[in-house]
Amino acid sequence: MSHASAISDHWGTGDVYSRILGAMQAAGIDASAVTLEQLAPMDHFHARGFPATKDLADTLPIKPGQHILDIGSGLGGPARYIARRFDCRVDGIDITAPFVDAANKLNALVGMQDAVSFRVGDGQSLPYANEAFDGGYTQHVTMNVPDRDAFLAEAFRVLKPGAFFALTEHGLGEAGTPHHPLPWSKDGSGAYLMRPADTVRALERAGFVKIEVTDTGDKYLEGYNRAIELAERGETPVFGNHVLLGKMAPEIIRNAALNIAEGRTHPVQFNCVKP
């Protein structure tokens, strides 16, 4: 199996959109009138969900009408939120075809096809012209990317001079050797965590400047602990992306929290600029 299909199969197979519709129905949400706010517990598919996207978006200098790239766009919640909040256009690309299919169908459901679109592709080899975008971000994607230099060089290539680039990820903590399963890997296969200092050096090698590093570990730990508490009280919401993590979701969430607490992983955000 190729690297791309191993990663894609890890994240999502089959008809993901139908599973999302099923979860909507179970939660009593009317799909024909669903709002971005109602979709948020599902379609911001990363640790901490929508609050993390909002925190990231707060740091992005996007102007109305700009064209932004989301690398590893998942189910499309972040791209839709950013398009609506900043009145900009967002293109998303993701290696997992069932996610891209669901992301485009969710777009149609909320009538955002003109502002946002998604296609299948690998961030290590982007199908866009040089200097096509006013800004780009990649939210919790790079844990699965073996060739970080290729990934960052491609992001740099497709951005205009002066464009911003933002990256959030679970870096490798000082203690190393994370417990698995985790959201991005069942057993350590397909996982390529880097220490934050090494990611800074990789961003510099790609040509990015003005690199700002923000430690997000405490916020992530708090988010995971809240999810664990809700699960212990039997109050996990019916409509949420734990549905897509499957039966292992409780163990995955416990490990994600433990890794941060033990310094095995190190959630971090990088904001930088293409000169």
Ligand X SMILES: C[S@@+](CC[C@H](N)C(=O)[O-])C[C@H]1O[C@@H](n2cnc3c(N)ncnc32)[C@H](O)[C@@H]1O
> Rule CB under 6 A: is residue 78 a binding residue for ligand X?
yes
> Rule CB under 6 A: is residue 80 a binding residue for ligand X?
no
> Rule CB under 6 A: is residue 141 a binding residue for ligand X?
yes
Q: What order do you get walking across the sheet with 265-273 strand by strand?
A: 116-120, 89-94, 67-71, 133-139, 159-172, 265-273, 209-215
Residue 233 beta carbon to ligand X: minimum distance, rounded to whole angstroms:
25
Residue 99 beta carbon to ligand X: minimum distance, rounded to whole angstroms:
5
Cα 271 to the chain's mean position, in Å? 15
> Rule CB under 6 A: is residue 94 a binding residue for ligand X?
yes
**What is the CA angle 92-89-108, rounded to 5?**
70
- Report which DSSP code applies to 63: -
The helix (H) or strand (E) run that includes residue 9 is: helix 3-11
Residue 158 beta carbon to ligand X: minimum distance, rounded to whole angstroms:
13
Question: Closest CB to ligand X among 109 and 145?
Answer: 145
> Rule CB under 6 A: is residue 139 a binding residue for ligand X?
yes
> Rule CB under 6 A: is residue 122 a binding residue for ligand X?
yes
> Rule CB under 6 A: is residue 227 a binding residue for ligand X?
no
Residue 46 beta carbon to ligand X: minimum distance, rounded to whole angstroms:
4
- Check: CB of residue 83 under 8 Å from CB of residue 115: yes
Tell me how far apart the alpha carbons of residues 172 and 178 are, in angstroms, rounded to a whole number: 8
Four-point Cα dihedral 129, 3, 242, 25, nearest 10: 70
Q: 106 in helix, strand or coil?
A: helix
Contact window for ligand X (CB under 6 A) among 92-100, 128-136, 169-177, 265-273: 92-100
- Return the amino acid letter for 190: G
Contact window for ligand X (CB under 6 A) among 34-42, 119-127, 197-205, 231-239: 119-127
Question: Closest CB to ligand X among 65 and 119?
Answer: 119
> Rule CB under 6 A: is residue 74 a binding residue for ligand X?
yes
Angle at which helices 36-43 and 97-109 pack, to 10 degrees? 170
> Which position's Cβ is nearest ligand X?
74
Tell me how far apart the alpha carbons of residues 214 and 271 are, in angstroms, rounded to a whole number: 8
Question: Closest CB to ligand X among 144 and 274?
Answer: 144
The DSSP-derived string for 118-173 is: EEE-BTTB--S-TT-EEEEEEES-GGG-S-HHHHHHHHHHHEEEEEEEEEEEEEEP
- Residue position matching structure tokens 């919401």: 237
> Mask 162-201, x = binds ligand X (CB under 6 A)?
---------------------x------------------
Among residues 47, 66, 8, the alpha carbon closest in space to that of 221 is found at 47
> Rule CB under 6 A: is residue 44 a binding residue for ligand X?
yes
Among 46, 80, 89, 264, binds ligand X (CB under 6 A): 46
| Size of interface with ligand X, in residues (CB under 6 A) | 25
> Rule CB under 6 A: is residue 24 a binding residue for ligand X?
no
Residue 9 beta carbon to ligand X: minimum distance, rounded to whole angstroms:
10
> What is the total residue count of the chain?
275
Binding interface with ligand X (CB under 6 A):
7, 11, 44-46, 71-74, 77-78, 93-96, 99, 122-124, 139-141, 144-145, 183
